[in-house]
Amino acid sequence: MRRAQRDVRFPPDRPCVPYTATEGGEPLRCCLRGAGPGERIALVSYAPLRRWAAGTGARPGAYDEQGPVFIHAGECGGPAADRAGYPFSRAGALRAVRRYNAAGEIVGGRLLEIPADEERGYDEALAEAFADPEVALVHVRAVEYGCLHFEVRRD
């Protein structure tokens, strides 16, 4: 399994509308960390299965959904090289852990309430997902707003 991927681009028909984060905390998909107060960010629509499908030949069909993600409005250096743990992990937060097969079809999922031992909670949920040999990709999303936080691919 690989850790979180960060590839985000917004569609040309949906322009980026930057704004300045006031309090911060928005889950920045581009660098897998929370925004800081005063950072220029944007909320954009993103179809996470498209890039993966283009690289694998998958045809997700109706599962090719679009949803919101936060990104930096300008250049972003990506995740810090020394970054550890899972992004946007906070004990008590709810996450949807959605599983996809190699064709890009949903083959299951579960609700994860992040436990006090956040790393262990994610490790167990992902191990459970990838125990099914049909699972090729897992998306982790915020339950409340549907933002894609990260994905994990089978190597």
| 109-146: pLDDT as tens digits | 999 999 999 999 999 999 999 999 999 999 999 999 88
Give the count of domains, the chain. Answer: 1
37 assigned to some structural domain: yes
Q: Is 6 within the bounds of a domain?
A: no
In a domain, 5, yes or no: no
0.75 exceeded by the pTM? Answer: yes
State the residue for tokens 């064709």: 103
Residue 23 belongs to some domain of the structure:
yes
Residue 146 lies in a domain: yes
Q: How many helices (H) and strands (E) does the chain have?
A: 2, 9
40-92: pLDDT as tens digits:
999 998 899 998 999 999 998 888 888 899 999 999 999 988 888 899 999 99
Q: Residue 141's CB: how many other CB atoms inside 10 A?
A: 22
Query: Does residue 122 sit in helix, strand or coil?
Result: helix
Residue 8 forms part of a structural domain: no
Task: Please state, in angstroms and as integers, the Cα–Cα distance from residue 102 to each residue in 16, 57, 134, 149, following that order.
Answer: 31, 9, 7, 20
Residue 51 forms part of a structural domain: yes
Domain around 111: 19-153
